[in-house]
Structure 1
Amino acid sequence: MSHPHRYSEFEIAAIYRAMRERRDMRHFRPDPVDPDVLARLLEAAHLAPSVGLMQPWRFIRITDPGRRRAIHALAQRERGRTAEALGERGQEFMRLKVEGILECGELLVAALMDGREKHIFGRRTLPEMDLASVACAIQNLWLAARAEGLGMGWVSLFDPEALARLLAIPVGGKPVAILCLGHVDAFYPRPMLEQEGWKQGRPWREFLFENTWHETTVLPVMENHDDV
């Protein structure tokens, strides 16, 4: 018996496909992104849920080449500091390509709004829910980009205070992601960190408990939408 609110098999398969094939991209072509497509992607981001409907996300589109280069310099500085912090894996880390700031067709910075302390609904005991809301907006943007055939990469290698100064973000606001968006030659068949041998992802069943922490649960095998 079909559910009256269920999408068609074709639509369901497309949604799951976007989730499976979404990748954190680091290799881009410099071709510009169509403005109409960019508008659709930003609208998709704005459709994300947010705690108390506060819509805490702010997106800054970087169109000035000098500012783009300055953002890249911040990422490179943090890249070196991260390598130092990684110790014996530092050199291995430096061999990884971790961003496409200079190559991507569009560069966005996602930030938290200022004045967030005024929003109490849903945040009284969990103030970090505003960050969770921004993450939902970024995920919407990511999945919509994949459906449009565009790649996106989330860069977190930067000093938030330095980036805030560079972009004139008001006191109380905070940048949380540099987003590289654009055309790619191909999507990675697997997450790039798996391909490079940095780390292997674990299956979702290892992260599911029932009733209490570490109490295992049993669920049926998922329906496969690959061939729909």
Structure 2
Amino acid sequence: MTPGPQFPDDFRAALVNLFLWRRDVRRFEPTPLPEGALERLLGLASIAPSVGLSQPWRFVVVESPERREAVKACFERCNAEALTLFSAERAALYARLKLAGLNEAPCQFAVFADHATGQGHGLGRMTMPATIEYSAVMAVHTLWLAARAEGIGMGWVSILDPAEMATILDTPPLWTLIGYFCVGYPSQEHSVPELEREGWEVRRPPTIMVR
């Protein structure tokens, strides 16, 4: 039996620091990523845990200007509708926040969960089919941390119409949109996340979430 790795104290401390410094980046430098960086990060995402070893995540890299403009237009329509859901004060704060790096981020991609995959033979998802989507989210989180460890930022654009995105990206019917992501070097770094700095929300202590 091969013994597992032993992680020293300084590694564990650095890991906690990585968790603390993971950010949902909204402002990017236009500097392109090094050659092969995105492919490497997507490869690291693919070692994430998945139900039944199904690996249901599907990445669609969006490079064409036409598709990017279509995604941006979808975001702007959904964003305008979202403003109507808040009070005047909250809407003003929401409008002030830049919720997407769609103009500046050099890399953009969508993540889907493939409900039609035969990989994994259905193990672990007969009673909880949503575990296919949960698995895809695990891949996103793995990629996010790997990117942060290299000084690369990632932002989740969640204000999008899934049906419209499926049309824009021409995906199979049984692929479910998990999210659209902007990737690049952050234009600024802060010890406090932007939504906290802007007063949108505060982070609650974990004790109130444990029952």
Greater Cα shift, 88-97 or 127-136: 88-97
Report the AA paired with residue 74 of structure 1: C
TM-score w.r.t. length of structure 2: 0.92
Indicate the residue corresponding to 1:29 in structure 2: 29
The aligned runs of 1:55-204 (5 Å cut-off) are: 55-88=55-88, 89-116=90-117, 120-204=122-206
Q: CA shift at 1:120, angstroms?
A: 2.7
Q: CA shift at 1:143, angstroms?
A: 0.4
Gaps of 5+ in 1: 210-228
Q: CA shift at 1:114, angstroms?
A: 4.5
CA contact (8 A) 2:115 2:132 kept: no
Instruction: Write the distance in 2 (CA, Å) between the matches of 1:130 and 1:199.
Output: 30
Q: Could you say what secondary structure the match of 1:174 adopts? A: strand
Instruction: Write the distance in 2 (CA, Å) between the matches of 1:4 and 1:117.
Output: 31
Indicate the residue corresponding to 2:17 in structure 1: 17
Deviations 1:13-38 (A, max 9, x none): 22211111000000001111113322
Instruction: Write the distance in 2 (CA, Å) between the matches of 1:85 and 1:55.
Output: 36
Deviations 1:127-154 (A, max 9, x none): 1111111111000110011100011011
Q: Could you say what secondary structure the match of 1:152 adopts? A: strand
Indicate the residue corresponding to 1:221 in structure 2: none
Gaps of 5+ in 2: none
Instruction: Write the distance in 1 (CA, Å) between the matches of 2:105 and 2:96.
Output: 20
Q: Could you say what secondary structure the match of 2:84 adopts? A: helix
Return structure 1 stretches of 4+ with deviation > 4 angstroms.
116-119
Identity across the alignment (%): 36
Instruction: Write the distance in 2 (CA, Å) between the matches of 1:69 and 1:79.
Output: 15
RMSD: 1.8
> How many corresponding residue pairs?
207
Indicate the residue corresponding to 1:224 in structure 2: none
Report the AA paired with residue 182 of structure 1: G
TM-score w.r.t. length of structure 1: 0.85
Instruction: Write the distance in 1 (CA, Å) between the matches of 2:70 and 2:87.
Output: 27
